[in-house]
């Protein structure tokens, strides 16, 4: 799991690991603020200080460390739990359809860091989260799961943020479960997904119905 400062998505992944078939072998972060979360869940934590102003050589060096850690952990899937750094095209291609990101709105609306403020300004009636595979095109990968909650004029930006985080957690856990159960199929042009319902054992039956 890659994370930055916000804890809700990371905690969602860690807490559900106890109830499902996956394990979290490692947390990688560009901040040290989430170390107490890792300590609480007894999960190894590695701090690698990525930031937008780094030189390209420094970014590549950190990325190579990330690759080594991922391979050492034998990770099958990488979750960006509100990780606020952009991965290189090489990173995205190397782990194609194995990186799941959670975005803090219903894509393609309200991209960027101020999604909740944008939603407030527009008076939206639904706020949510989108879990998608990561590609070299920012926030434009195939969508796996979305979740939404109603809101209205009484909600402040803080209310929208709280409701949005709840929706993010739901979308992320739904997408991660579907990926782990091998229920997600990416179409030929990598623009959309087909997500089968039920357990992995029921996929063949659903295919026959189609």
pLDDT tens, N- to C-terminus, the chain (210 residues): 999 999 999 999 999 987 777 999 999 999 999 999 999 999 999 999 987 677 888 889 999 999 999 999 999 999 999 999 999 999 999 999 999 999 887 656 776 667 778 878 888 898 889 999 999 998 889 999 999 999 999 999 899 889 999 999 999 999 999 999 999 999 977 789 999 987 654 444 554 454
Q: Name, in order, each residue with C-beta under 8 angstroms of 102's C-beta and a sequence gap of 6 or more.
A: 9, 79, 80, 81, 82, 129, 130, 131, 168, 171, 172, 175
Residue identified by tokens 């690698």 is 48
Residue-level pLDDT at 207: 46
Q: Is 55 exposed, middle or buried (0-12, 13-18, 19+ CB in 10 A)?
A: exposed
Residue-level pLDDT at 106: 67
Residue-level pLDDT at 5: 95
Helix or strand or coil: residue 47?
Answer: strand
Q: Is 139 a catalytic residue?
A: yes
Q: What share of the chain is helix, strand, coil (3-state, %, to 5)?
A: 40, 20, 40
Which residue in the list 19, 76, 121, 139 is annotated as catalytic?
Answer: 139
For the chain, the first-to-last Cα distance in angstroms comes to: 35
Q: Model pTM?
A: 0.87
């Amino acid at each position: 799991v890659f994370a930055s400062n916000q804890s809700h998505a990371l905690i969602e992944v860690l807490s559900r690991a106890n109830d499902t078939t996956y394990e979290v072998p490692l947390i990688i972060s560009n901040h040290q603020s989430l170390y107490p979360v890792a300590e609480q869940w007894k999960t190894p934590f590695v701090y690698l200080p990525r930031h937008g102003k780094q030189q390209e050589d420094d970014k590549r060096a950190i990325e190579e460390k990330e690759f080594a850690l991922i391979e050492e952990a034998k990770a099958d899937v990488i979750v960006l739990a509100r990780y606020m750094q952009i991965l290189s095209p090489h990173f995205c291609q190397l782990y194609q359809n194995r990186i799941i990101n959670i975005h803090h709105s219903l894509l393609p609306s309200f991209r960027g860091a101020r999604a909740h403020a944008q939603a407030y300004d527009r008076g939206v009636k639904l706020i949510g989260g989108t879990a998608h595979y990561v590609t070299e095109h920012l926030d434009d990968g195939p969508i796996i799961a979305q979740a939404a909650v109603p809101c209205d004029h009484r909600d402040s930006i803080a209310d929208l943020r709280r409701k949005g985080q709840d929706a993010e957690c739901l979308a992320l856990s739904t997408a991660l479960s579907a990926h782990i159960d091998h229920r997600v199929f990416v179409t030929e042009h990598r623009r959309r997904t087909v997500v089968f319902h039920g357990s992995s054992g029921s996929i063949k039956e659903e295919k026959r119905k189609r």
